[in-house]
């Protein structure tokens, strides 16, 4: 078979309508284009989408041709149906997704799954495998349950008894793969239940299509392409097969490519390009192969990605995407649906409250010597429980104020003044019961933006989050660095200070730095920090060596030491570095 890259396969999705329209000449032209610019290892060839079922002979023609070129051919299904005879009419189904209580639709989807499994040994479901149906039949079957509970049970039944069970009955070898969409925070509302489906499906796949953060429906931070892939890899260890991105609403070639960079940085073994015909004669494709080759080299020997553990239970929402914002401030993040009890330091956002036992887990974690950073959203919802447990006396007043001045309390004169106002919640605390490491003020008022309490052997930090969490990007670098430093450990000893920057860190000690193409595109001087004693920073691609200076400062009444390198970096360029 073809193997264009060492660290991942390049994969392209062929939707049913595209497959149906191929003739041999078109298929050859397209294949040669994709092979030339991206390099094609594998396709998922769809049998069904909407009102389209591709005929056996056509599937065979495509499969035979691509296999003759050494391409792996697996199957795909999009679980959408147009209205058809026998199905109940007049349901307000979004995008043609199914009413899974309708007997005729249940029969149809079972047939579709059986047919795909009879042709392919691996079948993936595109991410229309959700349900928002609120028809009268669904209301009746729901009964007294809420929609989340009803859909959880419904989709467990559908997954086992209409999709995977029937497919395996037809072809016991078939590997059934469920792709989850890029909207993790809403899965439970629409019947996506990865915590249940992991026992039914063989593998998963994740949507990393972030597109334009500001100008698309979902307003997804760029970092989602990395952090959601990490989340799924931690949710289904060893069974998250790939990341999936597309060309839609990217508006620039860099934004398109960034999705692929971050998917690969997250360690995804398949890079799914959605979809076949969007790639053809598209300049976006022309740069892809070149960039994937560079990434492939960077990932050689790097091992698994690592970062600061962020606890995001399944079926949870609240302060959605906040950890991704932090990931774009130069802190490597590692979201996981398993409470990271064995770690030294963890971050909890409001989403952590999806676990109803989270406060007792947190108390135990801190008491035994862990450090936890919780956000103001977490405090807002769980403040009473935290105060009752004795973890903090701090509270949010409910008032907000505009911060124009920052004070890093550890360096005594670290005032940063005259900044554009950012609205923060007012966090009040017992003076000298807890200690503020970062204050935010305006006029004669200031309050804590980052507060530290102690409990048992550990510490609890409370981080104030601005009303508009994207304002985090506008904070002074040195103010954000206070938060980053609280999360450093021996395992996660490095961070970068710079705007719109991410740092990806790996088991072998290497790091990849990337500055997103956002706003004004120009070089920027950044600082890279570590608590490890090092003598230089090596940029591997160019072989350049950057000197390191030792910096000593006071923080939280203790002397702290960092080793700091400076570099000028250009947005859109990937830099692979290591400390020496």
Q: Which is nearer to Zn ion, 79 or 225 (CB)?
A: 79
Tell me the closest approach of the beta carbon of residue 73 to Zn ion, in angstroms.
Answer: 34
Residue 144 or 490: the one with the smaller Cβ distance to Zn ion is 144
Cα distance between residue 53 and residue 80, in whole Å: 11
Spell out the alpha helix ranges (H) of 352-444: 358-367, 376-389
Shortest Cβ distance from residue 116 to Zn ion (Å)? 24
Name which of 135 and 196 has its Cβ closer to Zn ion: 135
Which residue is associated with the tokens 């147009």? 82
Number of residues that bind Zn ion (CB under 5 A): 4
Residue 87 Cβ vs Zn ion, minimum distance, rounded to whole Å: 10
Q: Smallest distance from the beta carbon of 355 to Zn ion, in angstroms?
A: 30
Minimum distance from residue 102 beta carbon to Zn ion (Å): 6
Kindly tell me which of 148 and 536 has the beta carbon lying closer to Zn ion: 148
In the beta sheet, which residues pair with residue 1? none
Strands 305-306 and 501-506: antiparallel
541 and 484 in contact (C-beta within 8 Å)? no
> Nearest 10 degrees: CA dihedral of 189, 48, 242, 499?
-60
Separation CA 456–CA 410 (nearest Å): 23
Strand partners, 506: 305
Question: How far, CA to CA in Å, does 309 sit from each of 10, 318, 335, 343, 345?
Answer: 29, 17, 6, 8, 7
Sign of the Cα torsion 569, 573, 579, 580 reads negative
Q: Is 422 in a helix, a strand, or coil? A: strand
Closer Cβ to Zn ion, 99 or 382, answer by number = 99
Containing 408, the helix (H) or strand (E) segment is: strand 405-408
To which residue do tokens 């000298």 refer?
432
Short-list 504, 481, 490, 503, CA closest to 555? 481
The contacts of residue 520 (CB under 8 Å, 6+ apart) are: none
Contact by Cβ (8 Å): 133, 101: yes
DSSP, res 487: T
Smallest gap from Cβ 105 to Zn ion, in A, equals: 9
Q: How far apart are the first and last CA of the chain?
A: 39
CA distance 547 to 536: 5
Which residue's CB is nearer to Zn ion, number 82 or number 508? 82
Of residues 449, 579, 434, 436, the one with CA closest to residue 509: 579
Residue 238 beta carbon to Zn ion: minimum distance, rounded to whole angstroms: 36
- Residue numbers 90-149 binding Zn ion by CB under 5 A: 99, 133, 135, 138
Residues 174-233 that bind Zn ion (CB under 5 A): none
Between 137 and 294, CB nearer to Zn ion: 137
Structure tokens at 298: 């960077």
- Identify the CA nearest to 410 among candidates 561, 558, 564: 558
Q: For residues 18 and 99, which CB has a smaller minimum distance to Zn ion in the complex?
A: 99
Closer by beta carbon to Zn ion, 88 or else 296: 88
Q: Which of residues 504-543 bind Zn ion (CB under 5 A)?
A: none
Per-residue burial over 94-129, b = 16 or more CB atoms within 10 Å of its CB, e = otherwise: eeebbbbbbeebbebbbebbbbbbebbebbbbbbbb
Minimum CB separation of residue 166 from Zn ion in Å reads 21
Taking the least distance from each CB to Zn ion, the nearer of 135 and 560 is 135
Secondary structure class of 365 (helix, strand, coil): helix
Instruction: Give 100 or 435: the residue with its C-beta nearer to Zn ion.
Output: 100
User: Collapsing DSSP states into helix, strand and coil, what is residue 491?
Assistant: coil
For the bound state, the minimum distance from the C-beta of residue 140 to Zn ion, rounded and expressed in Å, comes to: 9
- Cβ neighbours of 430 (radius 10 Å): 11
| Of residues 141 and 566, the one with the C-beta less far from Zn ion | 141
DSSP state of 470: G
Smallest distance, Å, CB 138 to Zn ion?
A: 3
Least Cβ distance, residue 165 to Zn ion (angstroms): 21
Tell the smallest beta-carbon distance from residue 88 to Zn ion (Å): 8
Task: Tell me the closest approach of the beta carbon of residue 104 to Zn ion, in angstroms.
Answer: 12
Instruction: Name which of 133 and 438 has its Cβ closer to Zn ion.
Output: 133
| Contact residues: Zn ion, CB under 5 A | 99, 133, 135, 138
């Amino acid at each position: 078979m073809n193997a264009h890259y060492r660290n991942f396969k390049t994969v392209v999705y062929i939707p049913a309508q595209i497959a149906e329209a191929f003739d041999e000449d078109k298929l050859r032209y397209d294949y040669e284009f994709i092979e030339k610019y991206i390099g094609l290892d594998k396709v998922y060839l769809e049998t069904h989408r909407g009102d389209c079922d591709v005929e056996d002979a056509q599937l065979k023609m495509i499969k035979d041709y691509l296999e003759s070129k050494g391409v792996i051919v697996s199957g795909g299904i999009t679980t959408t149906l147009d209205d058809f005879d026998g199905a109940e009419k007049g349901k307000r189904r979004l995008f043609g997704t199914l009413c899974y209580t309708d007997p005729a639709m249940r029969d149809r989807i079972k047939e579709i799954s059986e047919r795909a499994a009879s042709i392919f040994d691996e079948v993936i479901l595109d991410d229309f495998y959700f349900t928002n149906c609120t028809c009268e039949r669904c209301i009746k079957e729901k009964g007294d349950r809420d929609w989340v509970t009803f859909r959880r049970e419904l989709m467990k039944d559908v997954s086992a008894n209409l999709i995977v069970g029937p497919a395996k009955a037809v072809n016991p070898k078939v590997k059934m793969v469920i792709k989850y969409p890029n909207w993790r925070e809403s899965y439970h509302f629409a019947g996506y239940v990865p915590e249940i489906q992991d026992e039914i499906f063989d593998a998963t796949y994740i949507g990393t299509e972030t597109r334009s953060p500001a100008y698309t429906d979902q307003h997804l931070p760029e970092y989602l392409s990395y952090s959601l892939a990490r989340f799924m890899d931690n949710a289904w260890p060893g069974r998250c097969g790939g990341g999936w991105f597309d060309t839609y609403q990217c508006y620039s070639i860099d934004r398109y490519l960034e999705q692929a960079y971050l998917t690969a940085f997250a360690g995804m073994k398949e890079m799914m390009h959605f979809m076949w015909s969007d790639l053809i004669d598209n300049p976006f494709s022309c740069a892809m192969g070149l960039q994937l080759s560079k990434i492939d080299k960077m990932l050689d020997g790097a091992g698994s990605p690592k970062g600061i553990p962020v606890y995001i239970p399944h079926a949870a929402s609240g302060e959605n995407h906040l950890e991704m914002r932090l990931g774009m401030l130069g802190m490597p993040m590692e979201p996981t649906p398993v409470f990271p009890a064995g770690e030294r330091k963890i971050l909890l956002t409001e989403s952590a409250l999806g676990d109803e036992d989270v406060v007792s887990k947190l108390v135990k974690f801190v008491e035994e010597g862990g450090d936890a950073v919780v956000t103001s959203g977490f405090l807002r919802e769980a403040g009473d429980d935290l105060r009752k447990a004795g973890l903090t006396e701090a509270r949010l007043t409910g008032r907000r104020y505009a911060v124009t001045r920052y004070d890093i309390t550890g360096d005594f004169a670290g005032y940063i003044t005259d900044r554009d106002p950012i609205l923060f919640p007012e966090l009040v605390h017992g003076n000298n019961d807890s200690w503020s490491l970062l204050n935010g003020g305006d006029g004669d008022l200031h309050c804590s933006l980052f507060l530290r309490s102690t409990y048992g052997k550990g510490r609890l930090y409370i981080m104030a989050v601005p009303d508009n969490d994207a304002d985090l990007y506008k904070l002074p670098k040195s103010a954000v660095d206070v938060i980053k430093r609280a999360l450093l450990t021996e395992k996660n000893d490095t961070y970068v200070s710079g705007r719109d920057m991410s740092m990806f860190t790996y088991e072998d000690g290497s790091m990849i730095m990337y500055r997103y193409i956002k706003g004004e595109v120009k070089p920027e001087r950044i600082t890279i920090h570590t608590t490890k004693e090092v003598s230089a920073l090596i940029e591997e691609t160019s072989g350049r060596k950057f000197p390191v200076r030792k910096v000593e400062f006071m923080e939280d009444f203790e002397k702290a030491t960092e080793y700091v390198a400076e570099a000028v970096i250009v947005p859109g360029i990937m830099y692979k570095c290591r400390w020496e």
